Amino acid sequence: MSHHYSPLLIPYTYCLQYPFQEPSRVTGLSSNIEERITDAYVVVKVSWSYEGRCTPSHYIVVYKSVTGHEIYEKVTNRYVVFHWPEVCYPVEVFIQPEASGTRGEPLNQTISLDG
């Protein structure tokens, strides 16, 4: 009995057999206050490292503002710099690597800036 695979399933099964083709995953999230504009208002740099065999072409970064709005950025560096209006309010950050249209494992983390 021979197996016949649909042409649509071949790329999917290939990715399952060779997971190293996926982009890396984000690790080691850290934050630094780059500048204090007022006692509460700061400029923040969030950086990260990655693990994996494929180097991402870019990262999708989403962070939630104090008002609850999601701010979306697409960056090629392993960091993002943004203004934050309340140093005592934690930052919810979502980062996902992408390479050749394939998204890697995301990291979702809350960062405290007040030490």
Contact 84, 91 (CB under 8 A): yes
Strand partners, 33: 44
Kindly report, residue by residue over 88-109, the tens digit of the pLDDT.
Answer: 899 999 999 998 788 888 999 9
Average pLDDT over residues 38-48: 93
Identity of the residue numbered 69: H
Tell me, yes or no, if the pTM score tops 0.85. Answer: no
Grade residue 18 by pLDDT with cuts at 50, 70 and 90.
low
Is the sign of the CA dihedral 46, 49, 55, 56 positive or negative?
A: negative
Count of CB atoms situated within 10 Å of the CB of 42: 20
Percent over 90 (pLDDT), the chain = 45
Mention the CATH class of domain 10-111: mainly beta
What local confidence, expressed as pLDDT, does residue 25 receive? Answer: 85
- Chain-centroid distance of CA 55 in Å reads 13
Domain locations in the chain? 10-111
Closest CA relative to residue 67, chosen from 39, 35, 91: 91
Which tokens hold the place of 12? 């999917």
